[in-house]
Amino acid sequence: MTFVQFLFYFFAAIQILAALRVITVRNPVHAALFLVLTFVSAACLWILMEAEFLGLLLVLVYVGAVMVLFLFVVMMLDVNIAEIREGFASYAPAALVVAVIMVIEMGMVLTHRIFNVRPPLEKASDVSNTEAIGRVMYTDYVYPFEIAAVVLLVAIIAAIALTLRRRPETKYQTPIEQIRVRRNDRVRLVKMKAEKKESGS
């Protein structure tokens, strides 16, 4: 077994275990953390295959977006923030384990060249894979690319259609009315007799 194979099985094992934990842990916060670990392991696998652009994209987009997801979980599921703060110490070990494994993984990928291993696949050409993706994205794959855009549009429409509702009780500003307002609408001049100053005081 070459070192690259070892790395592959190592990351794959971590990924599968982390994915299993995502669905087995009870705590949504833990699940989100394991999801992060799953994504990072997948990114490591991609980088191992010299698809470094996709690997980085996965880390940037998914791991970044998952943090948002994480926040949503905390907010939407009505998890009491104070309770989470209270139990912060109990999360620390899980977070620490995830963090340490991620660091080790990244370190292994970055330093695996010192073990003098060959890349698993010969490069098809001398262009970097970022450039290769850029070349075909809007040419050969323009059709699936456009469909992906439509899928995202549908997701937006569906999300809005299913969640938007008018709340008459909510107070909100109407900018157009604010701009069009005239002085006469707001200020009323009232004529009244001047009051005499009372002599006693």
Name the residues that contact other proteins, by CB under 8 A.
Answer: 140-144, 146-148, 150-151, 153-155, 157-158, 160-162
Q: Where are the alpha helices (DSSP H) in the chain?
A: 3-24, 28-48, 52-57, 64-76, 81-86, 88-111, 129-137, 142-163, 175-180, 183-186
In 3D, which of 98, 82, 80, 105 has the Cα closest to residue 25?
98
CA angle 25, 26, 32 (to 5 degrees): 65
In the complex, the smallest distance separating the C-beta of residue 77 from other proteins, rounded to whole angstroms, is: 15
Give yes or no for a contact between 55 and 43, defined as CB atoms under 8 angstroms apart.
yes
In the complex, the smallest distance separating the C-beta of residue 163 from other proteins, rounded to whole angstroms, is: 8
In the complex, the smallest distance separating the C-beta of residue 162 from other proteins, rounded to whole angstroms, is: 6
Q: Which structure tokens are listed for 130?
A: 């970022």
Q: Whose Cβ is closer to other proteins: residue 92's or residue 149's?
A: 149
In the complex, the smallest distance separating the C-beta of residue 61 from other proteins, rounded to whole angstroms, is: 18
Q: Whose Cβ is closer to other proteins: residue 60's or residue 153's?
A: 153
Q: Whose Cβ is closer to other proteins: residue 165's or residue 193's?
A: 165
Q: Whose Cβ is closer to other proteins: residue 110's or residue 149's?
A: 149
